[in-house]
Structure 1
Amino acid sequence: MSGEKVLHKQPELSFALAFALLVMGAIAMGVSPVFVRFSEVGPFSSAFWRVFLSLPVLFAWACFEARRAGRQLTWDMDRAILLTGLFFAGDLIFWHLAIHKTTMANATLMATLAPVWVALFSGTFIGEPVPRRTWLGLALCLMGAALLIGSSYQLAPERIVGDLYGVITSLFFGLYFLAVRVARRNHKSGEVTLLSTIVTTVILFGTAIISGQKMLPDTAQGVASLIALGTFSHAGGQGLLAIALGSLSAAFSSLVIFVEALAAAFFGWAVFGETLSPMQFAGAAMILTGIWVARPKT
Structure 2
Amino acid sequence: MTNTTADNRQTRAPASGRVPDMTVTAVPAPPVTNRFLVPAAAAVTVVLWASAFIGIRSAGVDYSPGALTLGRILVGTVALTVMAALARKLRLPRGRTLVGIIVWGVLWFGLYNLALNAAERTLDAGTASLLVGLAPILIAVFAGISLGEGFPARLLLGIGIAFAGVAGIALASSSGASDAVSVVLGLAAAVVYAGSTILQKRLLPTVDSLTMTWLGCAAGTVACLPFAPALLDELAAAPTSATLSVVYLGVFPTAIAFATWGFALTRTTAGRLGAATYAAPPLAVLMSWALLDEIPAPVALVGGALCLAGVLVATLRLRS
Q: Is this a same-fold pair by TM over 0.5?
A: yes
Residues 117 and 171, structure 1, Cα contact 8 Å, conserved in 2? yes
- How far does the alpha carbon of each residue in 1:213-238 deviate from its partner, in whole angstroms, 9 at most, with x for none? 72445343333222211111111221
Letter in 2 for 1:153: A
Residues 44 and 257, structure 2, Cα contact 8 Å, conserved in 1? yes
Shift of 1:44: 2.0
Structure 1 residues 135-146: aligned runs within 5 Å:
135=155, 142=162
| Pairs aligned (count) | 281
Letter in 1 for 2:242: G
Other-structure match for 2:79: 57
Q: 1:141 to 1:295 in 2, by over 3 A?
A: farther
What are structure 2's unaligned runs of at least 5 residues? 1-29
Which residue, 266, 280, 291 being the options, matches 1:260? 280
Q: 1:138 to 1:146 in 2, by over 3 A?
A: same
TM-score (norm 1): 0.74
Which residue, 274, 285, 289 being the options, matches 1:269? 289
Q: Secondary structure at the match of 2:260?
A: helix
Other-structure match for 2:200: 180
Other-structure match for 1:158: 177
- How far does the alpha carbon of each residue in 1:16-53 deviate from its partner, in whole angstroms, 9 at most, with x for none? 53233112201101112332344332232122111110
Q: 1:33 to 1:120 in 2, by over 3 A?
A: closer
- How far does the alpha carbon of each residue in 1:48-106 deviate from its partner, in whole angstroms, 9 at most, with x for none? 11111012321132234444xxxx54264623312211211111222233334x53466
Shift of 1:203: 1.7
Share of identical aligned residues, percent? Answer: 15
Structure 1 residues 1-298: aligned runs within 5 Å:
13-14=33-34, 17-39=37-59, 40-67=62-89, 73-74=91-92, 76=94, 78-88=98-108, 89-100=110-121, 103-104=123-124, 107-125=128-146, 127=147, 129=149, 135=155, 142=162, 150=169, 153-155=172-174, 158-159=177-178, 160-207=180-227, 209=229, 214-216=234-236, 218-274=238-294, 283=305, 290=312, 294=316
- How far does the alpha carbon of each residue in 1:230-257 deviate from its partner, in whole angstroms, 9 at most, with x for none? 1111112212111111122223323444
Matched residues in 1 for 2:171 and 2:139: separation?
A: 26
Letter in 1 for 2:69: A
Residues 143 and 149, structure 2, Cα contact 8 Å, conserved in 1? yes
Matched residues in 2 for 1:128 and 1:19: separation?
A: 28
Residues 71 and 231, structure 2, Cα contact 8 Å, conserved in 1? no
Q: 1:97 to 1:222 in 2, by over 3 A?
A: closer
Shift of 1:200: 0.8
Q: 1:172 to 1:74 in 2, by over 3 A?
A: same
TM-score (norm 2): 0.69
Residues 217 and 223, structure 1, Cα contact 8 Å, conserved in 2? no
RMSD (Å), alpha carbons: 4.2
The structure carrying a bigger helix percent of its residues is 2
Matched residues in 2 for 1:152 and 1:23: separation?
A: 32
Matched residues in 2 for 1:37 and 1:217: separation?
A: 17
